[in-house]
Amino acid sequence: MKRTISSVLAGAAALWLGLAALPGTAGAQTSETAIFAGGCFWCVESDFDHVAGVLDTTSGYIGGEAQNPTYYDHEGFREAVRITYDPSKVSYDKLLEVFWHSVDPTDAGGQFCDRGYAYTTAIYATSDEQLKEAKASEAAVKKDLGEVATEVTTAPKFWDAEGYHQDYYKKNPLKYKYYRTGCGRNSRVESVWGDKAFMGIKEHMG
């Protein structure tokens, strides 16, 4: 009898594990990742943290050749933000909309007061489907603005930035607001996009 009960329990466990691996069950993927470079990663984090369906944002570095880049040594890397989101609550298309309308896609030399490659804009797709959607959105923005300097490519390795950069706008609200205003980020985005500026996060921008 003990052997029979053990066999039944083992079979039940195997069945549960098998079901968990099927789409739409407990083992199914519940989050996805998007990566955007939009100038200062403090600002990109702040913007996307106010999008419903975004679960987490992480500032970091992407695109360079070296290992373990740091804030003081990330030549060839862009500042970027890795976004973890719930696709049942927010689509990748929606994230693309927020991204484009919170940066200046026409600037090939950086963003706002921050100049140089590290601050240039890019969309780093984490899947073939994302790349397809990103390319389509790029074409739409070109029609809207006439030119786009933002790179759209497949994501290489993303390196997390130092801890003091994470959630900087929460940890240092006064310094952050002073920087964002002084750098001219909001005013430039409004100049480029007009009524479409900060689409999807206008409430957050006030």
* Dihedral sign for Cα atoms in the order 87, 139, 154, 83: negative
CB 169 within 8 A of CB 99: no
The amino acid that residue 193 corresponds to is W
**Which residue among 40, 43, 113, 183 is the active-site one?**
40
When the pLDDT of each residue in the chain is averaged and rounded to a whole number, the result is: 90
Q: What is the rounded distance in angstroms from the CA atom of residue 25 to the CA atom of residue 104? A: 41
Report percent pLDDT > 70 for the chain. Answer: 85
The pLDDT of 152-166, averaged and rounded, is 98
pLDDT category of residue 29 using cuts at 50, 70 and 90: low
Does the annotation mark 113 as catalytic? no
Dihedrals φ, ψ of 53, to 5°? 105, -15
- With tokens 């003081």, the residue in question is 72
CA distance 49 to 92: 15
- Do β-strands 78-85 and 114-115 pair in parallel, antiparallel, or remain unpaired? unpaired
Residue 14 has pLDDT above 50, yes or no: no
3-class secondary structure for the chain? Answer: CHHHHHHHHHHHHHHHHHHHCCCCCCCCCCCEEEEEEECCHHHHHHHHHCCCCEEEEEEEEECCCCCCCECCECCCCEEEEEEEECCCCCCHHHHHHHHHCCCCCCCCCEECCEECHHHCEEEEECCHHHHHHHHHHHHHHHHHHCCCCCEEEECCCEEECCHHHCCHHHHCHHHHHHHHHHHCHHHHHHHHHHHHCCCCCHHHHC
Q: Rounded to an integer, what distance in angstroms lies between the CA atom of residue 200 and that of residue 167? A: 20
Distance CA 82, CA 61 (A): 10
Predicted confidence at residue 186, as pLDDT, reads 97
Q: What is the model's pLDDT at position 13? A: 44
The average pLDDT across 153-160 equals 98
Confidence of residue 204 (pLDDT cuts 50, 70, 90): confident
pLDDT given at position 28: 53
Mean per-residue pLDDT, 24-41: 81
Confidence of residue 12 (pLDDT cuts 50, 70, 90): very low
Express each pLDDT in 74-89 by its tens digit: 999 999 999 999 999 9
